[in-house]
Amino acid sequence: MAPIKHVFINLEAKERDELRAFLLDPKWYFGDCLNESDIRNCTRLPIYKVYGDGSTQSFQFSDLENPRKYLPPIDIPECFLGAEFLISSSDVEVEILLRYYGIERMGKARFYKQQVLNRVGELQPEVRDSIVLSVLQNLPQLCVEDSFRDYLKNLEFIPTFGGALRSPTALYDPQPGILDMLHGLGLKTSVTPETVIQSARQVERLMHEDQQKSQLKGKVLLSYLEVNAMRWIPNALNDDQGTMNRMLSRAATAFRPRNLKSDLEKFWNDLRLISWCPVVVSAPFQTLPWPVVSSMVAPPKLVRLQADLWLVSASMRILDGECSSTALSTSLGWSSPPGGSVIAAQLLELGKNNEIVNDQVLRQELALAMPRIYSILTGLIGSDEMDIVKAVLEGSRWIWVGDGFATADEVVLDGPIHLAPYIRVIPVDLAVFKELFLELGIREFLNSTDYANILCRMALKKGSSPLDAQEMRAALLIVQHLAEVQIHDQKVKIYLPDVSGRLYPATDLVYNDAPWLLGSEDHDSPFGGPSNVALNARRTVQKFVHGNISIDVAEKLGVSSLRRTLLAESADSMNLSLSGAAEAFGQHEALTTRLKHILEMYADGPGILFELVQNARMQELLR
């Protein structure tokens, strides 16, 4: 046959047509003039006209064997036909090819699978849409082949509004029309939980490409769920959610199969973990704790409603929009209170740099939010979460005192005075959370040691600087209170203000119980002698306790007496029962002069008489 094919190369198209017409003349076949061997030889001749390969030539010649030839389906655009399809010149020729040469007419279903739908994405939109429409119009006949139906179900050949191609099972068409014929291929007429999950995953994928578009798609999905969430709740709503909601819930769940409950629970669990929820990106308040993130969608598990803004903003995202559906809010976990670790993280961030809050707007927001926060924490008492809360809040500023945040060491539940910033009293409107505050280590009352420690902290803070008027009033109130109670801890160091307003240990101060020694500058007065001048010189050495602290209070708190100090320093070896008595190595002044000086230090009045009476009694006891 090779030499014969070589001969055919030089034949023109007209000559080939004449030879084909001669060989396909019905007279050779009706009279059995050609046997099977002759017919087989005829199939090998390159005289049969076939469609071109897409070049400028619209047809070419080929044999019937390589490749195998088919008659094209009826009413198929010629642009889809290739070199395996014959071009017939007459119906008689078609009949001979079908009956004697074994040529088959390819079915439309097979043709669409092998020649069109396998490359539908490469077609021009106009051509593609016409082919898809033709397939849909002839779908009942095409789907006689079961394999074709299964093939179309998962084939992405249906154009969507955005121009993309999708499979019928991935599409949704709520309106009746020409697409009704796609229902048998899996086209949905109502949204299913699987459809919602697919939409959510699409938003999550879009997040990495276009943040704003993903947020917009997320808002659309949120709006749809807000209206239709009732259809997929696994259980009826609680009794406190309204009679109408309960009726709708029972109606929606009455005809569900028993195993649907677990499927719906899985649906909501999966939906909570997918990043599709639109969230607020920037903090609505400058002082509001806010995470450093830029994504515009987030999984519902990490999202809370705007009503919880001041409760969770430090560690969770805030929904960008409203959610009025109880069913949706409950199913996504937004109706349950935030966890203890989330609340603790919020308190931790709120307390930072907010020891004193001067912004009135912020004060109002915190005054509304803090009772809710403490109420949630109260519900955690006795649970494992409370241990986490204690660990997070230990040593930090988390206690709201009306005008700022304080640590547990700076707060008392009940106290007579408000000594901010050294000690603060829990506001009256928060007193209902007494059990919580005690659980978290806040003192119920201040004892004497606590008051002394306040003065100590005040002294450390001020250093060598004098107290201002407000601090001085606070210090004097504490001093007065300490004088009225008994200090059991003898190791506690008490600080008191001196005449200059600076705080010193009480043992370093003296109270002036001899004002006549230091108050006169008249040298002609009876007390203006050389000894008085010396005492005035000591005024710069001794630190005198503040004048608003009485002698009685000062003495109770360990302040030394000036008069006794001077007597102790001037005494010889005589034991006058005075602190600091010392033994002299010799008498340096006459006894009468010493007695004179001692008498000068006594105050005017009946004090001397009382002293004489007391000495007489002592002499009587010694006898």
The tokens describing 276, both together, are 């599709």
Q: Would you state the pLDDT for residue 368?
A: 93
Q: Which residues contact 38 (CB under 8 A, 6 or more apart)?
A: none
Give the integer Cα–Cα distance in Å for 333 and 316: 13
Confidence of residue 133 (pLDDT cuts 50, 70, 90): confident
Give the integer Cα–Cα distance in Å for 460 and 399: 23
The tokens describing 248, both together, are 């709708």
Give the integer Cα–Cα distance in Å for 172 and 592: 121
The pairing of beta strand 277-278 with beta strand 297-298: antiparallel
Is pLDDT at 527 greater than 60 in this prediction?
Answer: no
Pick the more confident residue, 115 or 372. 372
At 528-571, the pLDDT tens digits run 445 454 555 555 567 899 988 988 888 888 898 888 887 777 66
Check: pTM over 0.85? Answer yes or no.
no
Is pLDDT at 508 greater than 80 in this prediction?
Answer: yes
Is pLDDT at 188 greater than 90 in this prediction?
Answer: no
Q: Give the closest residue to 22 by CA, choosing from 105, 99, 92.
A: 92
Pick the more confident residue, 385 or 176. 385
Mean pLDDT (the chain) is 81
Q: Give the closest residue to 60 by CA, choosing from 87, 20, 97.
A: 87
Confidence of residue 525 (pLDDT cuts 50, 70, 90): very low
Confidence of residue 224 (pLDDT cuts 50, 70, 90): very high
Q: Would you state the pLDDT for residue 314?
A: 93
Is residue 22 exposed (0-12), middle (13-18) or buried (19+ Cβ within 10 Å)? Answer: exposed
SS3 105: strand
Which of these ranges, 122-126, 465-469, 537-541, 556-560, has the smallest mean pLDDT?
537-541
Give the integer Cα–Cα distance in Å for 165 and 159: 4
Is pLDDT at 50 greater than 70 in this prediction?
Answer: yes
The pairing of beta strand 70-71 with beta strand 104-105: parallel
The tokens describing 235, both together, are 């259980």
Q: Count CB atoms within 10 A of the CB of residue 358.
A: 9
Q: Would you state the pLDDT for residue 341?
A: 94
Per the CB < 8 A criterion, the answer to whether 188 and 171 are in contact is yes
Q: Would you state the pLDDT for residue 153?
A: 84
Is pLDDT at 259 greater than 80 in this prediction?
Answer: no
Q: Would you state the pLDDT for residue 600?
A: 63
Report helix angle 469-484 to 448-462, nearest 10. 150
Confidence of residue 212 (pLDDT cuts 50, 70, 90): very high
Give the integer Cα–Cα distance in Å for 407 and 495: 23
Provide mean pLDDT across the span 288-297. 90
Pick the more confident residue, 285 or 584. 285
The tokens describing 60, both together, are 């070419």
Give the integer Cα–Cα distance in Å for 160 and 137: 18
Is pLDDT at 132 greater than 70 in this prediction?
Answer: yes
Tally helices (H) and strands (E) across the chain.
27, 18
Pick the more confident residue, 580 or 5. 5
Q: Would you state the pLDDT for residue 192?
A: 86
Pick the more confident residue, 449 or 274. 274
Is pLDDT at 193 greater than 50 in this prediction?
Answer: yes
Is pLDDT at 239 greater than 50 in this prediction?
Answer: no
Is pLDDT at 267 greater than 70 in this prediction?
Answer: yes
Q: Backbone dihedral region of 102: left (phi > 0), alpha (psi from -120 to 50 degrees) or beta?
A: left
Q: Give the closest residue to 39 by CA, choosing from 104, 103, 92, 88.
A: 103
At 485-507, the pLDDT tens digits run 766 556 788 899 999 999 999 88
Provide mean pLDDT across the span 293-312. 94
Pick the more confident residue, 616 or 551. 551
Q: Would you state the pLDDT for residue 220?
A: 94
Give the integer Cα–Cα distance in Å for 442 and 374: 14
Place of tokens 């309960």: 246
Is pLDDT at 130 greater than 60 in this prediction?
Answer: yes
Give the integer Cα–Cα distance in Å for 11 and 18: 11
Give the integer Cα–Cα distance in Å for 152 and 213: 31
Give the integer Cα–Cα distance in Å for 613 and 601: 18
